[in-house]
Amino acid sequence: MVEMVSRYLLFLTLIFQFLGSAAQRPEFTKFLNDPWVNQQLEQMTLRQKIGQLIMIEVYPDQSELHRGNVVQNIQRYHPGGILIMKGNPTKTTRWINEFKKATTVPLLMAIDGETGPAFRIDSLLSFPNAQALGAIQGTETVYQIGKSIGKQMRAMGLNMNFAPVADINTNAANPIINFRAFGDDRVNVAQKAHAFSRGLQDAGVVPVAKHFPGHGDSRSDSHLTLPVLQHSASRLDSVELYPFRYLTQNGIAGIMTGHLNIPSLDPSGKPSSLSEPIITGILRNQLGYEGLVVTDAMNMKGVTLPAGQAEVQALRAGNDMVEFVTNLPGAVSAIEKAVADGILTPEMINQKVRKILAVKRWIQSFNPDSVQHPSLLAGLNHPSIELSVRNATERSLTVLANKNLIPLERIDTLNIATVSIGGDRNAAFQQMTDRYTNAVHFHLPADATQQQIDDLTRKLNPYNLVIAGIGSLRTYPGRNYGVTASHVNALNAIRKNTRLITLVFGNAYALKHLAEIEQSNALILGYQDNRFSQELAVQLIFGAVDADGRLPVTVDNRFRTGMGLDVKKNGRLKYTIPEEVGISTDTLSK
């Protein structure tokens, strides 16, 4: 078996060696021989070192009994980090502070913050998802999003983000990555992932890009099973590995390994997260990556080995940390036994722990942002956060059709109606329309009957322009993303009767199921169904904001990657918050 592994390591190295370029050492590596790191390592017992290799999960939405159990596990097993799951900001922050007091060695406090802490924590503003960010031209806005997320995290005591998703979503029906990816163009994905990561790092947060070697073309969910990728090694190198190579060349601090079966890289059938040919052979040796490598959650069904054995193999394969273990005492005991049996050497353990400690020393070099508000929640949802969300949302808006209609001119000649399809009350886009003109608003259920559609069409006869918004769609492919025959029939009936501006607030891939939507007089994709997308789409219609977004994915032959029309504003009033013009909301409210 050892001989076969060695043969594959050599094989993969020969295939990829001419394509690689030197990886940049992550910034934290300058602390590998820091006096504090050396002191901590020298003082640790083997069991304490093993604990540093493990990240445990905590649910702040649960009882104080759960919190007490976590504190006991920290004191008994000395885990290197904690993964925060569901909770509210105040309680979560309090628990984080209590966990820090339970140990003398700082903890990595991690969260899946793909759209910011709001991805797991309630009551917080959510930043645009990766698909929306992928539509933005350039990288500066994405960098600012990463930095804003980092500042918000540090204010809560969080210092590691299991983001960005660096997968290239080449499978439109991907059941788990999908809108979480920046798109299906490898260069766009790589550059956006780097910008997002750089923003986090500049805020003192460790980014962990996922899911190496690439989850974008999977046809199953690794939470439920082990996906199989049947691509050749050369295809994987040119597509899936491209963003990860780019990130290693630019010194990203962390990379997460995914649970994938990739026969061309490792024919053993092992998940890539447990594969030495993939992690050591490709990520470490071929790409030259010297940063922190963390597994995806070990409780996922894509991990096909028993608890304990899986953690040992993950560490032997080249991971530095395992997260979300299913049996903490069992994992610690199994790793101890692996050291005693020579499967894992003390040198391997020391090397991993030294790296983890260096990351912690790097985090200590940043001063955490202090919350200057009487309420933690007010600080976390500060208007500067909202401004960041607004700016990115505006830059993402993508115009996919425009028959010389928008921005609207001569509003005095227009008799405008709006239709919210899938809503039963005035949506945010309808309310924003009222700020520009006197419009009449209608609503149509997503499952409307043909009679209801006919009745609506008759009511719309007096109007020479209709703005129709589609919301409440599903984010994943199931049931056609929530698109129904009623959506299609209603839009086609309206379009045949009058001029139609269609707004789609949801996953770009939903466009596939909206037949003839490209025939709209204007078509705007907003990527997410929230008030920012809806309000800014209407401001685009009336000429208050520009649009230069580009579709980050290919939907079908009508809508392909890179598609999008520029629209220039015509000078109408823009509705925003004071911070956009350099005025403080706090000052105005006094």
Same-domain check for residues 501 and 419 = yes
Tell whether 94 and 172 lie within a shared domain: yes
User: 370 pLDDT exceeds 50?
Assistant: no
Question: Looking at per-residue confidence, does 358 or 16 come out higher?
Answer: 358
pTM: 0.94
C-alpha pair distances (Å), 21 with each of 211, 242, 246, 247, 286: 21, 12, 9, 12, 9
The SS3 assignment for 84 reads strand
Same-domain status, 489 and 562: yes
Mark which of 369, 395, 417 sits at the end of a domain: 369
Identify the domain containing residue 87 by its residue range: 22-369
Q: Report pLDDT digits (tens) over 317-327.
A: 999 999 999 89
- Alpha-helical (H) ranges within 318-345 are 328-340
Say how far apart CA 510 and CA 525 lie, in whole Å.
10
Query: What are residue 255's DSSP bridge partners?
Result: 209, 293
Q: Are residues 492 and 563 in the same domain?
A: yes
Confidence of residue 368 (pLDDT cuts 50, 70, 90): low
Confidence grade of residue 304 (pLDDT, cut at 50, 70, 90)? confident
DSSP 525: E
Nearest-angstrom CA–CA distance, 380 and 378: 6
Domain co-membership, 402 together with 362? no
Query: What are the pLDDT digits (tens) for 150-175?
Result: 999 999 999 999 999 999 999 999 99
* Cα angle 386-476-432, degrees, rounded to a multiple of 5: 40
pLDDT value at residue 18: 41
Rounded mean pLDDT, 200-209 = 97
Kindly state whether residue 382 falls inside one of the protein's structural domains.
Answer: no
Residue 20 binned pLDDT confidence (cut-offs 50, 70, 90): very low
| Average pLDDT score over residue span 8-34 | 70
At which of 369, 395, 414 does a domain end? 369
Return the percentage of the chain with pLDDT > 70, whole number: 95
Residues 6+ apart with CB under 8 A from 437: 411, 414, 416, 542
Confidence of residue 305 (pLDDT cuts 50, 70, 90): confident
Between β-strands 522-525 and 398-402, what pairing exists: parallel, antiparallel or unpaired? antiparallel
287, 219: one domain? yes
CATH number of the domain enclosing 483 = 3.40.50.1700
Q: So what's the pLDDT on residue 371? A: 39
Backbone angles phi and psi of 221, in degrees to 5: -95, 120
pLDDT digits (tens, 9 = 90+) for 45-54: 999 999 999 9
Report yes or no on 526 lying in a domain. yes
Do residues 398 and 334 share a domain? no
Residue 350 located in a structural domain: yes
- Residue pair 161/203 in contact by the 8 Å Cβ criterion: no
> Could you tell me if residue 380 is inside a domain?
no
Is 379 contained in some domain? no
Distance of alpha carbon 554 from alpha carbon 499, whole angstroms = 27
- Pair (292, 176) in one structural domain: yes
Give yes or no: residues 316 and 391 share one domain: no
Kind and range of the H or E run holding 162: none
Q: Is residue 311 part of a domain?
A: yes
For the chain, give the mean pLDDT: 94
Of the listed ranges 7-11, 342-346, 426-430, the one predicted with least confidence? 7-11
* Residue 374 is assigned to a structural domain of this protein: no
> How many whole angstroms separate alpha carbon 428 and alpha carbon 423?
11
In a domain, 200, yes or no: yes
Residues 501 and 359 in one domain: no
List the beta bridge partners of residue 148: none
Contact present, 23 and 290 (Cβ < 8 Å): yes
- In this structure, the answer to whether residues 152 and 112 fall within a common structural domain is yes
Choose one of 369, 400, 422: the last residue of a domain. Answer: 369
Q: Residue 253 is part of a domain; what is its CATH number?
A: 3.20.20.300
Q: How many domains does the chain have?
A: 2
- Alpha-helical (H) ranges within 53-175 are 64-77, 89-101, 130-134, 140-156
d(C-alpha 116, C-alpha 19), whole Å: 34
Encode pLDDT of 394-444 as tens digits: 999 999 999 999 999 999 999 999 999 998 789 999 999 999 999 999 999
> What is the rounded radius of gyration, in angstroms, for the C-alpha atoms of the chain?
26
Both structure tokens of 438? 């006197």
406 and 317 in a single domain? The answer is no
